[in-house]
Amino acid sequence: MSFLRKNNNAFTGDGYYDTDPVSAPESEADAPAPAPARVGSGAIELKVVSPTQFEEVAGIADHLLSGCTVFLNVENAPKETIRRIIDFLSGVAYSIGGRIKKVTASTYIITPSNVDVSEAVPYSQEQG
């Protein structure tokens, strides 16, 4: 028996499938749960990078240009290299309308234009 016959001739032959009203959910409550968000489906991706030399900066810039947020850890890079990396990535962030924000002495978050970073209010102040 052919594949089409096993599946009740769902394929019409003209490139379209007939819908089967028995298998279609009757309400949204019967519909299957949506799959988790995946990269490329509107999800925001975060890349964690720890460069130790300036030559790695092009790959980091590519992450930003593709719309990813970058968490940059430069604690293991020499001081002069850190300065060059930050200068370069600041230019990349500016060119895409993004932002660079220092998180700690050796970590930064660099975001594309569609991501905002806000400082959290300490928990004790939220209780107010």
Q: Is residue 66 part of a domain?
A: yes
Q: In what order do the strands lie in the sheet with 46-49?
A: 46-49, 69-73, 107-111, 99-104
Nearest to 112 by CA among 95, 88, 127, 87: 95
Q: Is residue 117 part of a domain?
A: no
Q: CATH number for the domain including 56?
A: 3.30.110.150
Q: Is the pTM higher than 0.75?
A: no
Tell me the pLDDT tens digit for each residue of 17-65.
444 444 444 554 555 554 444 445 567 889 999 999 999 999 999 999 9
Tell me the pLDDT tens digit for each residue of 9-30.
444 444 444 444 444 445 545 5
Q: Give residue 57's domain range.
A: 46-111
Q: Is residue 54 part of a domain?
A: yes
Q: Distance between CA 128 and CA 77 in Å, rounded? A: 41
In the chain, the number of structural domains is 1
